[in-house]
Amino acid sequence: MGRVSGKVALITGGASGLGAEDARVLAREGASVVITDIQDDLGAQVAAKIPNCKYFSHDVRDERRWSEIVADTIKTFGRLDILVNNAGLVRFGTIEDLSYADYKLQVEVMLNGTFLGCKAAIPYMTKSGGGAIINMSSIGGIKGISSIPAYAGAKGGIIALTRSVAVHCQEKGYKIRVNAIAPGGIETPMTAQAVAQLGPDDVGLAQSRDHGMGKPEDVANLVLFLASEEGRFITGTTITIDNGETMK
C-alpha cells in the first residue's frame, strides 16, 4: 500500500473500463485522482465511490478545456504528478468502407487528445518536480487488423508520440518519464462492443480469443508500476500486455 502516496493523478476516459480501474488502483495506493470523460453521469458515479477522487467533464479534443482541466486539478489537489491519457473509442470498418468522419473522430480523440494532454500537463509537472505520463496505445498499433485502420493508426501514432515526448523531457532535464501501454484483448465495454458488432468469429478478434481476455486490473497494475518509483528507470518505451498475442 502507498506506492503512489501523496501523488496526484489525472486520468482521461475515467468513467468506465480501463480508466475507471486505473483510478481505483491508484487511489488504493494513496494517490488523489481526477477522472475526466464525456459520460458525465457515469463519471460522477465512479468518482463518488473512490476516495479523494474528483470528476470533471472533458472532451479531450478541446485544447482550451485541457488547460482548464489541468488548472482545476492543481486547484483541487495542489499538484500534478501522473497523467494517464486513456480516453478512446473505436469505429469499425476496413480502409474501403470506413467513413472519413469516423477516421477523423478516432484520430482526434486518441492521438490528438494524447498530444494535447502531454502539452498541457508537462509545464505543471515540472513545477511538481517531475512525474509520469502513461499513454494508452494498443496492440492494434503494432500488428495489422483489417477492421480497425483508423484505431490502429491512432494507436500507432501514440507509440511514436510517446518516444518523442520522452526524449524531449529527458533532453530538457524535466524528470518526467513518458511511456505507453499496448493492451491486447481486455474485458471492457469497448471490447464487448467489438464482439457484439463484429461477431465472435471475426478474424480481427481471433488472436484475442485464442490468447484469452485480460482484466482491467491487469492493465491498471502496470499503470501503477509505471507511475510509481518502481518504474523510475523506464521511459520512452511501449509495454505490451497481451498474453503473448504479438510475440510471433
For the record, the C-alpha cell of 104 comes out as 477523423
Q: Is 100 a catalytic residue?
A: no
State the cell numbers at 115: 498530444
- The amino acid that residue 13 corresponds to is G
Provide, for the chain, the percentages of residues in helix, strand and coil under a 3-state DSSP scheme, each rounded to the nearest 5: 50, 15, 35
- Number of other residues whose CB lies within 10 A of the CB of residue 64: 9
Pick from 86, 84, 70: nearest CA to 31:
84
Residue type, 16: S
Contact 179, 238 (CB under 8 A): yes
The radius of gyration of the chain's CA atoms, rounded to the nearest angstrom, is: 17
The strand order across the sheet containing 53-57 reads 53-57, 32-37, 8-12, 82-85, 131-136, 176-183, 238-241
In the set 100, 103, 151, 174, the catalytic residue is: 151
**Residue entry with cell 472533458:** 58
The backbone torsions φ and ψ at residue 225, rounded to the nearest 5 degrees and listed phi first, read -60, -50
Q: Which residues are catalytic?
A: 151
